[in-house]
Structures are given as structure tokens and as C-alpha cells.
Structure 1
Amino acid sequence: MLKHKSWQSLWAIASLAIGLSAGQAVVADDDPLKVGFVYVGPVGDYGWSYEHDRGRIDAKEYFGDKIETTYVERVPEGADAERVIRQMAQAGSDIIFTTSFGFMNPTLKVAKRFPKIKFEHATGYKRAKNVSTYLLRTYEGRYVSGIAAGMETKTNTIGYIASFPIPEVIRDINAVYMAAKSVNPDVKIKIMWVSTWYDPVKETEAANALMAQGADVIIQHTDSPAPLQAAEKKGVKGIGQASDMSKFAKNAHMFSIQDKWSSYYINRIQKVMDKSWVSEDYWGGFADDMLVVASINDNLPIKTKDAVMNAYNDIKSGKLKPFTGPIYDNQGNLVVKEGHSLTDQELASVNWYVKGIDASIPK
């Protein structure tokens, strides 16, 4: 199994590669398929990047010597991302998965230069003939999180640590609040923007600031267990992000919403092997078992557990669609008509807070 390589070492590989053309290296039919992954955080974040790398490892175990995988971690969104992706392409990759929203434009730029290579971008919305997009219905997990938060808060205040004001994060904040409001009409949500996906220090500071403002349930859209650990110290509740974070907060951890990428990576790699890969926009969620409720704490009241699992099952079966109208934004505008459930395209462009959220979206 190939281990982590810096982008500098990838450049060295690219420089030594033989048979590179304008599109891709010439690869014999019996050579392993070369699969690259680009991560925004460290594989040890115990959150987003950690779960993507578990998917990579599972794919490697599934295919064995039929594939060769490599990854680069801690890649900043921007010029560095474009360099890393380009160097992976030059090194002879057959398919490259880029796993953060800010990798969208860099991925498209490199894909245009290497039309024979397949690219997959997580959480984005721009596609090309050789660029596919994929993401999770994280709002489904946020909705069940909101139900638990609304039922368990004693101060009627939920704290939300937000990363960047992109549609995914905004719709997830809305999902938490709508769900919490459905079980607790007095609930409020306070939002703290940290402008990072992974920074344990900033995440801890944000959690402490929210708790100082009365929040006694912490929900995060960042990737380290630091917010849960801060909640544990203060004796309040929290929910794990992207991975099972139960071991980091024995008492504070209510449950985690865990991402499961393995089936997707195996499926898409197989399609490249079969020469049946086509660009598409894929959304996975509860129904696909790509998003699960993990490690519900024994200390959670039965009533709350039942409410969480009932909502989970209703969403999974399609009985409950969280973004079904009528929904008003916090300016009083009707943004989802009665009876209408937002389409994937509409979900991908959510840029408003729902009625009751007393905050503005950062520019």
C-alpha cells in the first residue's frame, strides 16, 4: 500500500514518468489502475479526511494489486491544490478524487489539461466530460442532530461551529434549526464561523465562546474532536462530525453522524476499470448507508433515542424530506412553496437562513 506523499515527491515522480502524453501516461492493460486522493485535512483528523482515507484503504483492500493508491493530505484550497492535482495527473493517475469544496476550480483547470484522466470532486457543483461530482446529504444527519439537540438543551440554546459559508454548511445549519424547532419551539441557535475545516485550537475557542453564551449542546461543521472535548470539560452535550467520535467524550457525546465513502469509491473505480465511467452528480445519504447514526450514548434518554431513530428511519425511507415547504427565510420571504421538496439542484444553491435564525450569512 502506498503511503502519504508530499506534493514535492509527486512532482519528482512526474518528472521521472516515461511515456507521458498531453493527456495521460501510456499504461499497459495489466498495470494497476492508479488512483489518487487529495485531502484538505490530515488523515488523522478523526473527521472528514479520516473517513475519506478509510474509503481509500477499503478500496485498496477490495481490489488488491489491481489498483495502486496514493494521497496527499493537508492541501490548502487554492494554488497549492492546483499544483498537487496537476502533479498527480502528471505522475500517471487514471482517476483522481479531490475531497474539499475549495478544490472545485483547481480540479476543473487540471481536468481540462488532462482530458483522458477521470476526476471526481466532492461537494462541488461544476462538472465536465471528465469531471464528476459527489457528496453526502449531510443535512439528513444534521436534521436528526437537531432533534436530539432540541430535546436535550436545558438553556434552549444550541451552538453551531461553522466552517465556511458555502451551501452545504448553510443548509445544514438550517436543517439543525428546523429539526430542533419541531420539538422545542423555544430553541435558539448561535453560530460561530471559524473559517477553517480543521484547526483544533480555533474549534476549541469557538466551542468555549458558544458555551459562554449559554449553548449547552454543541454541533460542529469542522473536523477535529476538539469541540466535543471542550463540551466534555464543561459538562454539556455534543454530536460528532463525519466520524465516530465517541471515544473523545465519554459523557458529552450523544452520537456521531458518520460518513461512509467505501462503497462509492469501489463503485467508481470499478467503472473506470470497466470503461463505463461517465460524469455525473451523485448524492449519498441515509438511504444508501453512506451516512449513518453511530454510537448512540447509553446516557441519552430513551425518549430522545427513539425520536432520533424515528427521524432517521423516516428520512431513510423517504417519508420525511427535511426541506419541504412551506419554508420562509429569516427575512420573511417564502423560499420553498407548500408541498414542494427542494431538488438536489436547489439544495446545492441554498444561500438563506430559515425563519427564526437571528443571524446574517457572512459574505
Structure 2
Amino acid sequence: MSDRSFLDWPFFEARHRDLAARLEDWCRGHLPVNHDDVDAACRGLVASLGASGWLVATGAGEGERLDIRTLCLIRETLARHDGLADFCFAMQGLGMGAVSLFGSEPQRAWLARTRSGDAIAGFALTEPDAGSDVAQTATAARRDGADWVLSGEKTYISNGGIADVYVVIARTGEGEGARGLSAFLMPADATGLHIDGRIDVMAPHPLARLRFEEVRLPASALIGEAGQGFKVAMTVLDHFRPTVGAAALGFARRALDEAMARVARLRPGGGRLADHQIVQGHLADMAVRIDAAALLVYRAAWAKDQGAPRISREAAMAKLYATEAAQQVIDTAVQLHGGDGVRQGSVVESLYREIRALRIYEGASDVQRLIIARALG
């Protein structure tokens, strides 16, 4: 079992330690699931996570605040057991983050459904020509009487094709660049919303291209105020970026566990592989990277939970370091497994595919470097 001594760090309260223990027990009884049919697996995982109460943490009800340490602990634990379970949990939070933080009371009816596992959420932000640079968003929303009419396209949308509701960022023209964006709540059955194709990636997740063909939404679909879409999107990412680092941390812990079990079991030349000094050096490097990542992740989460208005610098550091370090840890685990490390279906091979995307989505590593550099003043 992975090292759990970090739970004694002063970042955590008794309720966090209790949650971690209960979730660990739940994961042993429910994960991993069969991934052969990814859509079915995701629907089943959302329903199971919801029925067991874990999705409550993905949203904030009236008068509540998101607890970022709880989100991070859940993502780390789920990722260690099953990457797809982490994905399903994370998207319920990211997908409805705008409603949690800025939504009206009627919009929160959807939040209640996603927190119970009754509905699946998606966050439609990325476009073919606007990935890391949200200010270049081209999907447009125009006023037509009391309604909004959306046209454009999005790509690499998580839960695309299986989501029941999407938060969509579109250009409403109040100003140039980032100043002219707004956020909208769009049911998946909206007339004019088309799934233009699914996207297959190295670690199978439900991803799709979305096309909006004169999608008509009522005025009540606007989340927050017109022209505040960039603020909405960045605030959501500010809350959820540390959790990406937490997922990477979970993958890295599992890789270290697998590597330690492997080198303890193998006996080349009659002695344990674990007794070779060069192997011990690799394990030590893995452990150091994991602890350093955990400190950055939970520092960022703690700061937000203590009421920091913005944690852009801390969140960027956490995501950057944790995802890059996890890639190194997992690569070392693959190397220590030898041929078995690249065998399709092995745990470390799966982790190797899972970790790569985390260095890209919710702001690629180089974007995080820019955020950090600008924060240095």
C-alpha cells in the first residue's frame, strides 16, 4: 500500500484523514472497472461514485465552498486505483465548476444532478485554433430578442458525446480578446448541437468534437454576466488545476508501489534486484519527486481553502511539477520492469499512457511556466 504518512502533514484536518480512509476502502471494493467499453464504463463509474456520495465534493451548494484539499485527496486516491475513475470524478467537478462558482439558483438544479451521479457534465472550452489561448475563442453567441444563439465548434471535449449538459465558453463581443467572452449552460439535447466525431487518444477517454449550428438558448443560460466568460473559465481552472497535480501524484504513487514490488520479487543472480545500489538510487529519486509534488499540490489546495482569492501561481507550480515529476517516476517504473514495462495491459504501461495527457490539458506545462514567470513580477 502507498505511503500515507503525508496525511499527518498540517495541511489536513481530521475530516480529510477520515475521508481518505473511507475512500481507500471503497476503492478496494469497486475499482478498477472494465475499460473495454469506455462510454459504458464512464456512465457506470459516475453512477457508482454518485450513489456512494463521492461526487458531492465536486460541487458547492448554496452557501458552500469547494474544498480543494478534499478534491485533491479524492483524485489522488482514485487515480492510484483506476485512471478512468479519476477522469469521471474530475469532469463532474470541472464540467460544472462554472455553475458551482457563478451559477444562478435555477442553474444549480443541474449541479444537484451531477453531484448525485444522475447527470454527466462537460466543459466546452478548447477549439481547433484556441487551445491554451482562451482569448482566441471563436465560437460566437449573439443576442436574438431574449435568447442567445451560438455557432462554432469545440474540440477535445471530455465527456463529449455522453454528457447530459455542457458549460460552453463563447464570444459575445463586449470587447476584444478575453474581454468579449461569456459562459453558457447548454443541455446536450439542445437543437443544433452536433457531435462531429469522437477522438481516440492513447489513454481511452470519451472525447469529441462539438459543433454548434445556431443553437438557441434562453437568457437564463448565461452563467454570471455577459463579458465575464474569461474570468469564469480562469476561476474554474484556478480551483481545479491543483487537482490535476493530485491525479498525477496518484499515478506516481502507484508506479512506485509497482516498482518496489517488482524489484523485491526479482532475484537476478540469486540476489534481490532491490538490493542493487543503482536500483535503490532510482527508488529514492522516485520517492523524492513524489513528496515534492505532494507538498506543492497540497500547499496550493490548503491556500485556496484558507481563503486566498487567487492561487494562480501556486496552482501552476503544483500542476507543472507534479505532472512532470510523475512522468519521470512512471518512466523509471517502466524501466525497472524491463520488457514487462512495455507489455500492453501491464499496470505501468497503462500509467505511462495515462500520465502523458496531464502535462497538456488544463494548461500545458509551458503555459504553467509562463504563469509562474509572470507572477514573479
Q: Judge same fold: TM > 0.5, yes or no.
A: no
Greater fraction of residues in helix: 2
Greater fraction of residues in strand: 1
TM-score (ref. length: structure 1): 0.25
